[in-house]
Amino acid sequence: MKNNIKILIGMISVVFVILLAACGKPSVESSAKLEKQSQNNNLSQKTKDDSSNDDSIENSSNTDAYNNDTNEKVDPSNNVPAKDEDSSNHNAAVSLKDEYLKKLNDTKKEMDEMKPTDSSTFAAKKVEGDRFDIWDGLLNEVYGVLKEQLSTEEMDQLKIEQRNWIKYRDNTALEASQKYKGGTQEHLEYVAVLANLTEDRCFQLVGDYME
């Protein structure tokens, strides 16, 4: 009886060991599969990360290129906006005014440096006569430019104003010369006043009317 019990216990032990081994084998295989799947997942994730990094670099490069292109378009030192025709004409007119103001200032400087060759009245009248001729020539030149710039109505008004100014200039010079009536200084004073008033008129026309 005792032997039978021992045999039975032994058989149960063997069966138990077999069952235990059978259950353990799938567990090992499952672990291997899980490990392999984990490795595949890691590899897949790494591939995605690498791909994402590549895309990020490419996008960054494209963005830089776009920014560079944008910077070049808005850089005022490299791209000057095209000026329309009206703006160009306006600038040309302003430049013309500046040109004549410079010309008048340069002429004034030259005239101020002119000196008589001697102390005689004749030499003094020669200098004042030359001054008047030069300023009168510039006055006619400025007047011609204004004919091209001003409208018909503006030019008609300027003609009337200019006629009145000429009368004023001549009368003022004559009145000034009467202080020396009958003397050698009479004509000298007359021409000197003509020159001075004509010089002033040149600056006035350019400053008030020229564009």
What separation in angstroms does the CA of 27 have from each of 22, 33, 34, 41, 186? 9, 10, 10, 21, 136
What is the number of domains present in the chain? Answer: 2
Same domain, 47 and 142: no
Residue 168 has pLDDT above 50, yes or no: yes
Domain boundary among 81, 102, 124: 81
Supply the range of the domain harboring residue 20: 1-81
pTM tops 0.75, yes or no: no
Q: What is the pLDDT of residues 81-137, one digit of tens each?
A: 444 555 555 555 456 899 999 999 999 999 999 999 999 999 999 999 999 999 999
Domain boundary among 53, 81, 109: 81
Q: Report the alpha-carbon distance of residue 99 to residue 92 in Å, rounded.
A: 10
Same domain, 69 and 99: no
